[in-house]
Amino acid sequence: MKKSLALFLAAIFTFGLTAGAFAGDTLEDVKKKGVLVAGVKDSLPPFGYVDEKTRTIVGYDIDFINAIAKKLGVKVELKPVTSATRMPQLKEGNIDIIAATMTKNPERAKEIDFSDTYFLTGQKFLVKKGSVKSLKDLEGKRIGTAKGSTSEQNVKKALPTAEVLSFDDYPQAFLALQQGKVSAVTTDESILAGLLAKAPNKKEFEIPPKVQISEEPYGLGMRKGDANFVAFVNKTILEMEKKGEAKKIYDKWFGPKSETPLTRTFKIEAGK
Ligand code: GLU
């Protein structure tokens, strides 16, 4: 009797904690501990990947984290996450912020808060050269993507007859494409361009330019209701935009001289 009451109370307590908004203040906590712990990708150039020379994780996402930490006057600790683990890691308090190619959308915004958009791309396909001209060519085919991503959800809707194979992350899906186990890899164009740039046999593959199935605005993820921290992060990235720092970071990773040249079609704006 006593034991079941205790279990019941424990269940209510746990549910109350996870269902309700975050009551803490990450901004204050980070200042106190002197370190900002960020969940990042570690095998997705040019967003987050291990630099061969320095053996450290670098990339577009990391540069934003470094700028936020610099403004706070704290150190940075990077923890690798996957598309499926990033939200649980944040909710469990293992990381303070997500900077991991993460699309902000209303469904996710029920669980966590997002910064203003700091990158914009769209979902495309990476295929064997000449094999795909339109979306129709992918009907009934096997397509690789990552677990827990919007890419997985979008492709199931856009190609209901396709067989979707979900991997832990995109490099595994690309390996499956190279081995002929899938006909395409689908995710954000910016990620596909990064995978392709690093591939030794890149001439064999392409991203058909007109085959796009969604728009993907990226946001930095924070705990739901962590209002001071969200405000600080938004203020910082808006300042970075105004001073031209954000564009500089974009040009470093996506400019004409980079391995993944893309056009910047967005500006960081308050409330967007
Ligand atoms: N941006 C998409 C998402 O957040 C795909 C990339 C990823 O899986 O991180 O799901």
Q: Provide the CATH number for the domain around residue 42.
A: 3.40.190.10
Q: 245: CA distance to ligand 1 center in Å?
A: 24
pLDDT per residue rounded down to tens, the chain (272 residues): 455 555 544 554 444 444 457 878 999 999 999 999 999 999 999 999 999 999 999 999 999 999 999 999 999 999 999 999 999 999 999 999 999 999 999 999 999 999 999 999 999 999 999 999 999 999 999 999 999 999 999 999 999 999 999 999 999 999 999 999 999 999 999 999 999 999 999 999 999 999 999 999 999 999 999 999 999 999 999 999 999 999 999 999 999 999 999 999 999 999 99
> 169 is in which domain, residue-wise?
122-216
| pLDDT (0 to 100) of residue 20 | 57
Distance in angstroms (rounded) separating the CA atoms of residues 123 and 178: 20
Distance in angstroms (rounded) separating the CA atoms of residues 131 and 120: 27
| pLDDT (0 to 100) of residue 38 | 98
In the chain, how many domains are there? 2
| pLDDT (0 to 100) of residue 6 | 55
Residues 226 and 191 in one domain: no
Nearest-atom number in ligand 1 for the CA of 146 is 8
Domain presence at residue 231: yes
Ligand 1 site residues (CB inside 6 A) read 83, 100-103, 146, 149-151, 187-188, 191, 216
| Among 150, 151, 133, 141, CA closest to 176 | 141
Domain presence at residue 174: yes
Domain presence at residue 272: no
Nearest-atom number in ligand 1 for the CA of 152 is 10
| pLDDT (0 to 100) of residue 231 | 98
Q: Measuring CA to CA, how many Å separate 136 from each of 129, 131, 133, 161, 163?
A: 16, 11, 8, 10, 14
The pTM of this model reads 0.92
Q: 204: CA distance to ligand 1 center in Å?
A: 25
